[in-house]
Homo-oligomer: A and B are copies of this chain.
Amino acid sequence: MAEVKKPRQFAKVQRPRLYEQLMTQILAYVEEEKLGPGDHLPAERELAEQLGVSRATLAQALVALEVLGVIDVQHGTGAVLRYRPSVATVLRELREHESRLPEIVEARSTLEVKLAGLAAERRTEEDLKKIDHALLVMTEEIQEGGRGAHGDELFHEAVTAAAKSAVLQKLMTFIAEMVLETRIESLGQPGRPERSLESHKKIADAIRRGDSAGAANAMGEHIELVSDVALLKEDLD
């Protein structure tokens, strides 16, 4: 009867990388010096020396910042701060505070409600099959006494796929990772799997009928239901 599915995925202690630390320091430097969009960072050689690391390592930090859209490294010119340096701020806040449960749920809700609506308009037979399959899996899991976590995941993935929007899907992936990182896997399963399953069915029905508004509403209610318990712990104010 192995509950082999979830080997309690410990979150693998993350070893600190030097380049990550450098990112933070560079960001701090930018703030200190009140550098704005268009301003240049010190030259690599100089910066590396100031930070006490090799150029190679600094280069990694710069690549990371570039990927995150904070800077723009130009050959022969130097590293230039991009527009919207707010990214840097937001990013740091997110990293530092981490668990922003309410906000994350809020964002998730926003996207999923929309996705449900779109799914109702755009779903194919294929999509409906996947959704049904997810419901089946969840039902079985619950009957066996589980929490239906796997089925739940499948369901939300299927709905997301049915909405046919790569951009929204990408944003959901982002949030999914935040949720994971913030270790709120429990989010979806506060202990009332049956009620959760019920609301899934409502959503699926609306999507099948092509009832966009209905699907959106059902998804909204579902997320509210599911989040309540998890949230009330932190959101008692």
A residues apposed to B, CB below 8 Å = 12, 15, 19, 56, 59-60, 63-64, 67-69, 72, 74-75, 84, 86-87, 90-91, 93-94, 97, 100, 103-104, 106-107, 110-111, 114, 118, 165-171, 173-178
Complex-state Cα separation, A37 to B196, whole angstroms: 28
- A interface secondary structure, majority: helix
- A86 and B173 in contact (CB under 8 A), knowing A68-B67, A168-B106? yes
Complex-state Cα separation, A178 to B170, whole angstroms: 12
Q: In the complex the two chains form, is B63's CB within 8 Å of A169's CB?
A: no
Q: In the complex the two chains form, is A167's CB within 8 Å of B107's CB?
A: yes
Q: In the complex the two chains form, is B100's CB within 8 Å of A166's CB?
A: yes
Nearest residue (CB) in B for A19 is B63
Given contacts A97-B166, A103-B165, 20 further A-B contacts (CB under 8 A): A12-B72, A12-B74, A56-B59, A67-B68, A69-B177, A87-B170, A90-B169, A90-B170, A103-B167, A103-B168, A106-B114, A106-B167, A106-B168, A107-B167, A107-B168, A110-B111, A110-B114, A167-B175, A167-B178, A171-B174
Measured CB to CB, the closest approach of chain B to A62, in angstroms, equals: 9
With beta carbons under 8 angstroms apart, the residue of B100, B165, B171 that contacts A171 is B171
Measured CB to CB, the closest approach of chain B to A165, in angstroms, equals: 5
- A165 and B69 in contact (CB under 8 A), knowing A56-B56, A60-B59, A84-B176? no
Measured CB to CB, the closest approach of chain B to A90, in angstroms, equals: 5
Which B residues are CB-close (under 8 A) to A110?
Answer: 110-111, 114, 168
Q: In the complex the two chains form, is A91's CB within 8 Å of B59's CB?
A: no
